[in-house]
Amino acid sequence: MVKILILVNGGVFLAQIVAGRSLLLPFGLDTSHPFQIWRYVTYMFLHGGPFHLLFNMFALWIFGSDLEDYFGGRKFLQYYFFTGIGAGLTVATLDLLTGQRSFVIGASGAVFGLLLAFGIIYAERTITMLLFFFLPVTMKAKHFVILFGAVEFFFGVSPGSSGIAHFAHLGGMVFGLIYLKTPVGTLSWKGPGVLKSLQRRIKAGRSAHDDRRMDDLLRKVNDQGIQSLTEEEKQFLHRMSRSKRWQ
């Protein structure tokens, strides 16, 4: 999947060279059109120049290769798009709240999502980076992630931003954390499987809640008698007694 993503991004960039702005305008993430939902996917494959593309593809290769081995191809792709789309939604939401407008392109949001996952999954692995492009600095992956997150937040809230979508980067990291640390990442994402997985989880949670309530009412009957139950509680016991789970 990493190789496919790199090839697709490279192919789209070649198309950009030929088509110019006619490709950027309808497919970049323009937050003045927040409900044109295709933009939240297509913006990830557009880049502002060769160095923008090379930096993102290099990071995708460096961090994505190990993560694809860890997740497997399908789940890696799910994670990549989840964080990339989440990064776009972050920018669009902030712009909606502040009355601003942004035009965002690039895979950086998804790449920062990969960085977050790498820092959590391979927390103790050491990474060497070139500070100011010539000074090598070595640190653990978890510290690398914290440093980059702090830098992005600092520049994001600083006035006179350089035109880089810092909150898209942070959004990618936040959505990466959501995917890894909540049940979202355990859902089946194959077609309608997402809905089925959610339904199973809701049903399981409802069943556990009903079981606890059943136990509480049975204790209440044992301690205070059947006359202590309200009409609604009696109906609940009657409904549960007819359930296959309790037969």
State the catalytic residues: 108, 166
Pairing of strands 103-104, 29-30: antiparallel
Kindly state the DSSP code that residue 99 receives in the 8-state scheme.
T
Pairing of strands 126-131, 103-104: unpaired
DSSP string of 30-83? ETTSTT-TTHHHHGGG--SSHHHHHHHHHHHHHHHHHHHHHH-HHHHHHHHHHH
Q: At what angle do helices 141-157 and 166-181 cross, to 10 degrees?
A: 140
**Would you put residue 70 in left (φ > 0), alpha (ψ -120 to 50) or beta?**
alpha
Number of Cβ atoms within 10 Å of the Cβ of 47: 24
